[in-house]
Structure 1
Amino acid sequence: MNSVKKIIFLFLVSYSSFIIAQTVISESDDIQNNIKKLDSITKHKKLANLKIKAKSTLDKYYFKLAEASVLNSEHKLKEAITSYYEAIKFSEDLKNDSLKGIVYGKIGAMYLMRENLTKALINFNNAFKFLPENKNDSNYVGLRLKKGLVYSYMEDLAGNRNNLPWLLVAAGKQKSRILEANIYNNAGTYFLEAQIPDSAIYYFTKSVQIREAIKNLPSIGQSYNNIGTAYYNKGDFSTALRYFEQGCIWRIKGKAPFQAVVESYVNIGKTYYKLKNNSLAMSYASKAYVLADSIGNGNIKQKAAAVLKDVYIESGNYKNALMYQDIYFHITDSMYGDRKRDEIANLTLEYETDQKLKQDSLKRVEAETAVKFEQEKQEAISKRTTVIITLLILFLSVVAFFAYTFFKSNKEKQKQNDVITKQHSQLQAKQTEINDSINYAKNIQNALLPPRLVFEERNKEYFIFFAPKDVVSGDFYWASSVKENNLDLFIYITADCTGHGVPGAFMSLICISFLNEIINEEKITDVAEILNRLRKKLIQTLADGQDGLDGLVCLLDNKTKKLNYAGANSRFFIAHEKDHILTEYKTDKMPVGKGPRQDVPFVCNSIQLHEGDIIYTFTDGYPDQFGGPKNKKLKVKNVEQKLSEMVDQKLSVQEEEIKKFFTNWKGDKEQIDDVTFIGIKV
C-alpha cells in the first residue's frame, strides 16, 4: 500500500509540474501576443506573477521572452537585448536550437521595427541557422516574410528574388489568410521594384482578393494603392487614378494610419497632373502638403512639394515652382543629411553597448592581457574608421545628388522664360555651398589618413608629399605598427586607386576600410597575402566593374632591418647608405582588381637593408605629369636622376626638392593625376 501511495504522489508532483510549465508558456505567449493592448501596470503585474512561477530552465526561458517583449514595448532597447541574450543562454543550457532560433527571430523583428536593417538581417539569418525549415509553420514563414521586407527596404532585388520562390510555395500552405495575403503583397512589391508592373498587378490583386474576403479593411486600402502604383509605372494613368481613389476610400473606411491617407492624396494629385488636370492635381497635392507638414512626415511632404513644383511650372507660375523646388531640396537635405548623420553618430555607441550586453548576459567576461588590450584598441580604431568612412560616403552621396539636381535644374531653367533666368544667381549660391561641402569632405578624408605620429614613432627621418589633383583624392597612403609576440614591424602602403576626385575618393575609402579589416582585424602581415585578400574583397564588392588600384605594400622589421614587399604595377627606389647608389625595384605587372591575371597570386620579395638606407615609394601621378619645355611626361628616369643628385641630403631638404621639382616641371599646366611620394630612412 505504501508503494502505491508513493507512485501516486510522484505522479501528482510530475503532473502538477507539467501543468505549471504549460501555464508559464501560455502566460508568456499571452503577454507577447497582446503587448499593444495591455497598459503598463497590467503588463508588469503579469510579468511579476510569471517570474514567481518560473522555476525550471524552460520556464525561465519563456519568462525572459515575455520580459524582453515588455521592455521593447517601453522602448528600453538595452534592457530588452539583455533579456533576449539571457533567453539564449537558457536555450543553450537546454541544448535546444529551435528555442535559440526563436530568440534571434524576435531580436531581428525588434531591429526591423527600428529600421536597423543590417542588424535585423544578421539576426534573421542567425534564426534560420537554428530553426528547422517548415513551410507549414506560420512563425517560420513569418520570419522569412520579414526577411523579405528587409530586402525590400534595402532595395536588394537579388536577395528578395532568392527569398521569394520559397515564400510563394509556402503561401498556399498557410492557415492564416492574413499571412498568405501579406506574402502575395510582398511578391507584388518585389516585381514593382524590379520594374515588372504586370506581375506586380497580378500578385497585388491576389492579395486584395484575400483581404476583401477576410474583411481586413486597412490592408485593402494598401493593396489598391499598390495596384495604382503599378498602373502608374506602366503609364496607364486613368486606371492608376481609379485604384488610388479606391485605396484612399478603403484607408479611410479601415481607419488606417493618417499618414497612409495623406499618401493617397499625393498619389491622386500626381496622377491628375499626368492627366493634365492641373486644378485637381494642385488641390490634392496642396492638401497632402499641409497635412504631411502637420504630422511631421518629411517623406510625404517632399513628394507633395515635387508635384506642386511640376504643376506650377506647367501653369507658368515659376516663382511658386522655385519655392517648392527649394522646399524639396531642403527636405532632401534634412532627410538624407541630418537624420543619417545622427544615425551614424550612434553606431559606435550601439556597437559597444551590444558587445557589453553580450558579455554581461552570457557571463563571458575574461581577464584582459596586454596583448588583448592592444587588439581591442586596434578593433576600436577600425570600427571608428568604418563609421567615419560611412559618414563620408553618405555625405558625398548627398553632395553628388545636389550637384546632379543643380545642373539639371539649371539646364531646364535656361529653356524657360526670363523669370526663371533671374533665379540663376540663387542657383550659383547652391554651387558655392556644394563646393564648400566638398572642401569639408576633404577634411574628413584627410582624417582617415594615418597621422604623422605613426611614421615618427618608427622612423628616424621621413617625408610625405601628398598632392590630390582635385579637392579629394584617389591616391592614399596607409600605415600601422605591429608590436606583439616579440615582433617590431612597421607596415605602410602607397596606393593609387582607379580615377581621381570624388570617384577615386570612394575607391580609396573602400580600400582603407578593407585594409583595416585585413591587417588590424585579421592580423595578416604577409605582404603578398594582403594584396591577394584586398583583390578578392574588391572583386566581390565591385562585381560589375573594373575598378581597383596599383600600389606597393612594404613591411619593415625594425630589429633586423629586413624589408618584405609586394606590389601591383608599381616600382620604387632604395638608396644605400654605404655607397649612395640608387637601385630600382619593380613588382608584379597586374592590378589589385579584375584582370586577365586576377587568379595569379602576388609575390612577396625580400631585401636586407642597413641603417641609413632610404626607401622611396610613389604613385604614377608624379612621373606621368606633363610639363617641361616640350610639354612631355616627367618620366621615371628623370625622377631617378633627381633622387641620385640629392640622396646624401637630409630628408627634410629632399622633401622640399621633390615638391619644387614637380612644381617647376608642371609649370602652368594642369595637374593630370593625384600624387603621393614617400621617403623613409631605415
Structure 2
Amino acid sequence: MGGGLFRYIYCIIFWWISLPLDGWTQSSEADVFNQLKATSSDTVKLRLYNTLSRLYWAKKDTHQLKTYTLAALRVADTTQQSMQLGQTFHNACHYYRLKTLYPKAIEYAQKARAVFQSIAYTKGVGNVYNTLGEMYQDQGKYTKAIDCHFNALRIAEKSKNAQMISASLSNIAAIYETIEQYDKALEYFEKALKIDQKRKAIESIGLTQVNIAQVYYHQKKYAQAKKYARWSIQNARKAKVPLIEGVALKFLAMLQSFAQDTLNATANFEKSHQLMSTQDQAPEYVALLLQMSRHYLQYKQLEKAKKYGKIALTKSLRIGTKKETKGIYKVLSSIYEQQGKLAQALEYQKKYAAYKDSLLTIKANNKLIQHELEYMYSKKEAKIKSDNHRQINQQSIYLYIISFGLLTVSLFSFFLLKSSRKQNTLNQELKEQQQELKAVNKHLQQKQTEIESNNQELKFLNHRLKSGESVITKAYDQLQTRNKQIKNNIRAAFTIQQAMLPPVALVRQLLPEHFIIYQPKDIVSGDFYWINEIEGKIIVIFADCTGHGVQGAFMSLIGHNLLDKLILQQRNTDPASILTQLNEQVLTALHQQDARSIDGMDIGILVLGKTTEGQKQLVYAGAKRPLYYLRPNNHEEIQVLKGVRKSIGGTQAKNKSFVNHQLALPTGSMLYMGTDGLADQHDYQRKKLGSLRLRNILTELHTLPIEEQETSLFALIQRHMLNTEQRDDILWIGIRV
C-alpha cells in the first residue's frame, strides 16, 4: 500500500504544528515560571499557561501538557472571544489527540476554530483545519482529512503564506499516496518542493525530496527514486536533521536491497537505525524496523529478521499503526514458515488476513476522486463566472462608444463577435465537465456495489477468525508483559553504559583522524573504550571483559570506574603501572584471592606523547592484546607490539609483569587496536576471519582516508557475518597520528 510503509507525513505534521501562533513567545521554561510567580492577573496567567502547553506539546510530554492545559481552561474567560481562548481550546485538542481520544479532541478543535473565526484570525483557523485533517487522517477518514487540508490550503493561499501553503500541499499529497493515487501525490509534492526551493528551506526540501523518492519507488521508477533519496540525504545533513537523514537512508537501503546490493543496503539500514533509534518518531522507527526485517528475511538471516520484526510488532501495536502491523504479521508468518514452525506461521497469517484495509482504501480512493473533481469543478465554475462578468463590462463600454460614430460601432461589433465565440467555447467546456462528472458518478456506483459484496465476504471470514482469538490474545499479552519488563531493564543498562563512554566531541578534539567501530553482540556490551587527556598526554584504552551482554556490561562498569580512579584521580599515566594496579584492584573488588573466579578483562593502554621533529612519541602496554602500526608510504608488512600473555583479574600467573613498549613514529602513521571479537567472528561456513587475514586487510587499507577505512572495514564485517550470527562483541579503533 502506498504511504503505509513510509510515514513521512508525521514529519510534515510536526513541522506544521510547531509553527508558533501570534502572541506565543520562544521563552525558556525558567522565564515562564518566574513570570507566573510574579503575576496575579488571570489574563497574563492564561498567556503563560498557553506558552507552557505549546512547549510541552512540542516535546510530546502528555503529563505536563495536561497540567497546564487544564490550568489554562480554569482561568480562561469563555464569555469573551480572544486569541488566547482559541489557543487554549487548541492546546486541549492536542492533549486529547496524544491520548487518542479523538471525539474529545475534535470537539475542542471545533471550539478553537469558532473562536478564531469570530475574531477574524485566519492563520489560527488554518492551523485548526490542519489539525483536524491530521486527526481524521490518523483515523483513516481520508475524505474528511483532505477536505480539511484543502480548507487550510485556501486560507494559506489567500494570506500568501508560503510555509503554510507548502505544508498543506504536502499533507494533501501524502493522503493521495496512502490511497495509491501516485500521479496526484507526485503533482502535489512537486508543487510543495518548488515553494520550498523558492524559500530556500533546506529542511523542508530534504523532507519533500524523500517523499517524492517514495512515490517514484511505488511507480517502479527506481533511478529517479534513488536520485531524490540521495538529494534528501544531502539536504538533511546540511540542515542537521537526523530524523530526515535516517528516513532517507532507510529508503536508499530499500532500493539497494531491491537491486541486491546487499553490503551497501545493510550498511545504510544500520546507519538509519543508529540515527532513528534516538528520535521520538515511533511511526517512522516502526517502518524502518519492518524494512530491516524484510531485508534480512530476503537474505535468509532469519534470526535477525525475527528480532527486528518482533520489536516492530511491539511498537506498532502500542502506537496503533495498522498498515505497518499488517506488514509485520506477513513477514513474521514467512519467517516462521521458513523455520519450519508452522503453528506460529499460521497464527500470524490469520492475523494478517484479519486486516481489511485494502477495500477501505478503494472506497476512500473513490470518494477522494469525487471530492477533488468537485473542488476543481468549483474553481472552473468560479473562473467562468469571473470571465462572464468581465465580458459584460466590456460590452457596456462598447455600447457607450457606439455614439461616437460608425467606425466605433464596427470595432465594437468585431469585439462582440470575438467575445461571443469565447463565451460559446467556455459553455461547451462546462458541458463537457458535467458529462465527465456523470461518468465518474456512474463508475463510483459500480464500485460501491463491488464493495458491498466484498464486505459480506469479510464479515464471514472475520466470524471464523474470532473463534480462536481470545485464547491467543491472552497468552500473547502475558508474553508481551514479561518481554517488556526484561527489555526495559536492559534498555536502562544500555543508557548507563552509553553514558560511560567518552563523548564524541571530546574524542574528535583529541583524535582528529580516527574511527571507532563499536558493535555489541547484544543490547549491552562487554567491550568498552576509555579516552582522555592527562598532563598533555592522550590516553587511549580498549578492553574486552569476560563474557558479553549483561555479564560483560557489569564487568565493563567495574573496569571503567577503576580506570577513572587510577588515571583521573591518581594522575597515573604509565601504561604498565596502570595495568598492574588495575589487576590488583580487580582481584580485590571481586574477592578473587579467596574464590576461584575467572572474571576479568583483556586490555590495551596507549599513551600518545608530544610530536618532535615530525616524530610522534608513544608508549604501549597490553594484557593479551596487541597494537598494530604502519608507517606512511610503507608497503611492508604490518608491525605488532604484543601484549603480555596475562589478563587482568582471574587466576593468572603471578611471575609475569606488564611491560611498556616505547616507540617513535613519523606523523601520518596508522595505529590499529581492538578486541578479539572481530578476528574470531565466523562466517556461514564456520570459518574465522583470523588475525593473519585481518592484518593483511589493514595493510591494504592504511593509505586510504580514515572515513573510507571505517566504511570498508564495516562492510567487511557485514559481508563476513552474512547468513550467520554475531558470536561476540566487536570493538576496533584506528588512529592516524
Q: TM-score, normalised by structure 1?
A: 0.41
Q: TM-score, normalised by structure 2?
A: 0.38
